Structure 1
Amino acid sequence: MRYKVVLQHSEEGYSVHCPGLPGCWSQGATEEEALLNIQDAITEYLDA
């Protein structure tokens, strides 16, 4: 299943959240790291 994510750049790196899964968010120093981290966050969110 695919979920839309929203990626935002900040002074500290990148934050990313999944609007379809309330409270599911992550962050990373780079865009690539943030996107990898949100994949893990989505998996953990759905397992809970």
Structure 2
Amino acid sequence: MTQYLIVIEPTETGFSAYSPDLPGCISTGTTRAEVESNMREAIEFHLESLKLEGLDVPQPSTTSAYIEVAA
């Protein structure tokens, strides 16, 4: 099982998400749970498309961290 980082952002109508390791792979949803589910499907579809086209499937390399600062 491979894990890809996704970034979830609130929008005016719900949420959007993308994966920095998979350019062009994005999704939306009205709830956080929905956007996560939709993003899982989008990533599976994206990877399958890459394989069908004979392209390399990128390995996850993006990480995340929170930095605490005085605001």
Report the TM-score when normalising by structure 2.
0.67
**1:9 paired residue number:** 10
What SS does the corresponding residue of 2:33 show, helix, strand or coil?
helix
Superposed displacement of residue 36, structure 1 = 0.2
Partner of 1:44: 45
Number of residue pairs matched?
48
Structure 1: stretches of 5+ with no match in the other structure: none
- Per the alignment, residue 35 of structure 1 pairs with 36
Structure 1's consecutive aligned runs of 4 or more residues displaced over 2 angstroms after TM superposition are none
User: In the alignment, residue 38 of structure 1 is paired with which amino acid?
Assistant: M
Contiguous gaps of at least 5 residues in structure 2: 50-71
Identity percentage of aligned residues: 38
Select the structure of larger CA radius of gyration: 2
Output the aligned Cα RMSD.
0.4
Following the alignment from structure 2 to structure 1, what is the Cα–Cα distance between the partners of residues 15 and 26? Answer: 11
